[in-house]
Structure 1
Amino acid sequence: MTQPTSTAAAGTLDPSFADKGVLKFPIPEIFGIYTEALLALPSKKLLLGMTLLGEIGQRPTVVMRLNEDGSLDTEFGSDGAGFVEIPIKGAELEVHKLFGLGNGGWLVMGRYALRGSSGLYLVQYREDGQVDESFGEEGVRLLPFAGMGNPGDVGIGGEALGLRDEGPSTGAPQTSGGNGATAVQQLDGKILLVSAVRTESGQSKGTVLRLNPDGSTDYTFNGSGFAIVELEGIGAGDNFANVVAVQADGKVLVGGDFDLAGQNIRGVYVTRFDAMGRLDRSFNGGTVTVRNSSLIYLRAMDVREADGSIVAVGDALRAGVRNGLIFVLSEGGFFDFNFNRGQPLFSSLVPQGLEWWRCALQPDGSIIVAGTTGRGFATAEATVLTARFLSDGALDPVFNGSGFTIFDEDLTFESLQDMTRMPDGRIVGCGLTWIDRDPWAAIGGGWVIRYLA
């Protein structure tokens, strides 16, 4: 069950937020349950991306704003609604990421599916929630999967990839949040996204795309607006790009997973492109890898402002149990000896194992990670686990007295979708509640939780 909040200690639920730290959906004002993405605002308010209930093809996807106490901000949107609808008519939408812009506005990024077309979308908003029509086409930029990897640009062909299966098919619904695509903004306002393409040879390869601040394609990036992840010298078969980050000097970090051609070996990688979209071999030869004899995935990555070090998180299957994976690289791409003696850190923490899906860095060097326990399916093993590791890789005992905390409501299963850190350090997560039904679990609602820091 949900852990009590009797003490105002780091890692305990924040009693000043919603109902003792927990906001459950649907709420009277909004009939929606699919809580998908979070953004903490400088004002201590929160943006929350959510898909409302309704018939297939008629389920609007919205971004709402919450006050610091978790109540709906009715000054946001039109007519006191508290939310704005993403203006892509007739499409099934997913929200993958919300990120703030230097001008006070914000971008929403995700996946769309229209009849005969699917891909990634970006919609830009002004600070007041109005669509910024100077971006893209009336505020919207669609990036169809079929148009990624133009053969005329880089000598490859075939289709671009959308979602992919990341685990064994058992018929049970998967709980894992996010699905491989993300975006980030550079200091100069340009926008980077990652996806994947399938080459003429049948290989899958990650790709990174760059847009100008107005949403147009930035053809100065590799001469085409995108670059393909090749993983030279590794002998990789397929590779997928899942995460992207930018260093202070404008160099672009891309991370994902791969398999070795003809071998039962998988791995995750971080590679770097220079500001012009060319592979940067000064980054430890161009690519850093962590390998595993079974499934392994990279889910999130961030750059620490103080020293430029890189934190990457995900999960790996080891001895039949999912382990959370964390590794830290120096700015130049070498394993940081100060973190876990320069080795990747694999953690299960609970008997059923876990997957890290999100990370957030604190100014003191500690690392906050959050994810879902279990095997990736909606079963009784699924809870949400949030932990704080010190800069050396040890669990921080100040955080809930053990280094981690578990969100587990009675009679339901929980899975994480997103996590963010507020300006004052408090940790906010959102996700889904699953109800045990025959033959398998169904989504019962959404939630937002906030922990003290």
Structure 2
Amino acid sequence: MNQISGNTAAGSLDPSFGHGGVVALPNWARSIAVLPNNKLIVLTGASLQEPITVAQLTEAGALDPSFGDGGMVEVPVTGYRMLVSHILVLRNGNYLIAGYESGTAPTRKYVCQLLKNGQLDKTFGEEGLATIQVPDIAVADVGQRARFFSSPEQKLTTDGIYFAGEQIAVSEQDAKIYFCAHVYSETRGVEGVLFRLNSDGSSDTGFNDRGYVVISPGTGSNIRLTSLMVQGDGVLVGGGFISATGSREVAFLKRYDQRGKVDSSFGEGGTVIIPNGADGRTSVIYSVALSDSGLIVACGESGKTDEKEGLLTVLNPNGSFNLIFNQGQPLYADFLLNLFFSTSVFQHGGKIIVSGSGGGGYVVAARYDLFGNLDPTFGGKGWVVHDSIVALAVESSELTADNKIVVLGKRSLQKSAVRYLG
């Protein structure tokens, strides 16, 4: 376990952050993002009984009194039963919030833009809100009686299948907003939909001539989209293909070009499949990150029967497997039982930081070099476990400007931010 008292080595909990490196977040916290000044922005609002808010934390993890009312701003979004899932910091200092409609047959997703002070940007969408509706998607594209998933963990179609919520990303080249979600229809099962909005929140009809593209896994399968990343003039989506019988999935990455068409120059015809081999292994990608040189790191989980291992692989910009990292093969980490990696970042200096859960559900962080070796300068052995009284599941991770790693952890409804020294 990681010791924090007086320890300033890489992989140690940051003693200058909260209580020994851990900050309890406001109730119903859903997402965090790191600001350029190492402050944090926290999004809350997972309950219809709770208002949607954003809170700003100082670098030390306390509520920032310079922001809103004592560090918090309530977002005045009203209309239908809306919950939130992600917050994203834009280069101009504004924020994007992605959300979804609650209910048993939801038909709306939404994106809203906030100004630096947390107030709605009334020039975005309609009074700050851009709404995406199932009826906007042609019936011929998704089949009859389509509907969005109503929550990030709603069970659909088959017992044992759960699907993650929507993802959001923004292009630094042209400020286009990418947003992906799952859609279900009785005739075609679970498919993915990738939308593109203009910077003002309007639908970008130049993307696949519709403003969206449907990502279908093919006959007899369902799809799970768990990662979204802008790559140059295109966009990467990843996750897993799931058989209709409910067995676990095959991990994949797909690339779409600026026109919303599958980029056939990426991988094999636009798709990279992470090979499962012949031993019954199944895999899914949870996170994708890009290095300054264009390398793609994808992480997730893999395993046989009920045992999980952390999945980590590095690709070249064109989707080919990088032959330097683990000799071009996916890396399966098993330094803890039931290990999986849910988030990844490229750290300054060419190191890969992954975070996830293992060893009974505790927060795990590990650092690898570009050859696929654990870096022993991180925590003494290349990986650390957050030693708390209770287990925390990892939801996301961010890298600060000064090379520290902030992890969003979850236990039941309580969320915590954990910061490691880099």
Same fold (TM over 0.5): yes
Q: Say yes or no: does 1:71 pair with 2:65.
A: no
Partner of 1:28: none
Q: Distance in 2 between matches of 1:268 and 1:160?
A: 25
Partner of 1:431: 409
Partner of 2:400: 422
Partner of 2:27: 33
Partner of 1:315: 301
Q: Distance in 2 between matches of 1:345 and 1:318?
A: 14
User: CA contact under 8 A between 1:266 and 1:296: conserved in structure 2?
Assistant: yes
Match of 1:81 among 48, 70, 85: 70
Deviations 1:97-141 (A, max 9, x none): 222212221112233316864543212111222211111111112
Assess, with a 3 A threshold, how the Cα gap between structure 1 residues 274 and 169 changes in structure 2: closer, same or farther.
closer
The AA in structure 2 aligned to 1:268 is A
User: CA contact under 8 A between 1:205 and 1:229: conserved in structure 2?
Assistant: yes
RMSD, matched Cα: 2.8
Q: Say yes or no: does 1:384 pair with 2:330.
A: no
Assess, with a 3 A threshold, how the Cα gap between structure 1 residues 262 and 373 changes in structure 2: closer, same or farther.
closer
The AA in structure 1 aligned to 2:304 is R
User: CA contact under 8 A between 1:207 and 1:241: conserved in structure 2?
Assistant: no
Q: Say yes or no: does 1:130 pair with 2:119.
A: yes
Which structure's relative contact order is higher, taking Cα pairs within 8 Å and 6+ residues apart? 1
Match of 1:247 among 220, 224, 231: 231
Q: Say yes or no: does 1:113 pair with 2:102.
A: yes
Q: Distance in 1 between matches of 2:54 and 2:77?
A: 13
Q: Say yes or no: does 1:48 pair with 2:42.
A: yes
Assess, with a 3 A threshold, how the Cα gap between structure 1 residues 167 and 48 changes in structure 2: closer, same or farther.
farther
| Matching of residues 177-196 of structure 1 within 5 Å | 179-186=164-171, 187-196=173-182
Assess, with a 3 A threshold, how the Cα gap between structure 1 residues 228 and 402 changes in structure 2: closer, same or farther.
same
User: CA contact under 8 A between 1:239 and 1:257: conserved in structure 2?
Assistant: yes
Assess, with a 3 A threshold, how the Cα gap between structure 1 residues 237 and 116 changes in structure 2: closer, same or farther.
closer
Deviations 1:332-366 (A, max 9, x none): 11011111111111112212x12211111123221
Q: Distance in 2 between matches of 1:22 and 1:424?
A: 18
TM (norm. structure 2) is 0.89
Q: Distance in 2 between matches of 1:400 and 1:166?
A: 40
User: CA contact under 8 A between 2:253 and 2:272: conserved in structure 1?
Assistant: yes
CA apart distance, 1:14: 0.8
User: CA contact under 8 A between 2:32 and 2:87: conserved in structure 1?
Assistant: yes
Q: Distance in 2 between matches of 1:244 and 1:398?
A: 30
Deviations 1:259-318 (A, max 9, x none): 357896730111111100011111122111024435532211122222x12111111232
The AA in structure 2 aligned to 1:280 is D
User: CA contact under 8 A between 1:149 and 1:197: conserved in structure 2?
Assistant: no
Assess, with a 3 A threshold, how the Cα gap between structure 1 residues 393 and 189 changes in structure 2: closer, same or farther.
same
Unaligned runs of 5+ in 2: none
TM (norm. structure 1) is 0.84
Partner of 1:29: none
CA apart distance, 1:237: 2.1
Match of 1:298 among 278, 282, 285: 285
Q: Distance in 1 between matches of 2:136 and 2:271?
A: 23
Partner of 1:345: 331
User: CA contact under 8 A between 2:164 and 2:224: conserved in structure 1?
Assistant: no
Deviations 1:72-111 (A, max 9, x none): 101111xx33112233337665543222212221112233
Q: Distance in 1 between matches of 2:156 and 2:105?
A: 24
Q: How many residue pairs are counted as aligned between the two chains?
A: 414
The AA in structure 1 aligned to 2:52 is T
Unaligned runs of 5+ in 1: 26-31, 375-380, 435-442
CA apart distance, 1:373: 2.1
User: CA contact under 8 A between 1:5 and 1:14: conserved in structure 2?
Assistant: no
Q: Distance in 1 between matches of 2:380 and 2:110?
A: 42
Q: Distance in 1 between matches of 2:58 and 2:346?
A: 24
User: CA contact under 8 A between 2:48 and 2:82: conserved in structure 1?
Assistant: no
CA apart distance, 1:200: 6.2
Match of 1:62 among 53, 63, 76: 53
The AA in structure 1 aligned to 2:225 is A
Partner of 1:362: 347
Deviations 1:361-384 (A, max 9, x none): 12322111111226xxxxxx2111
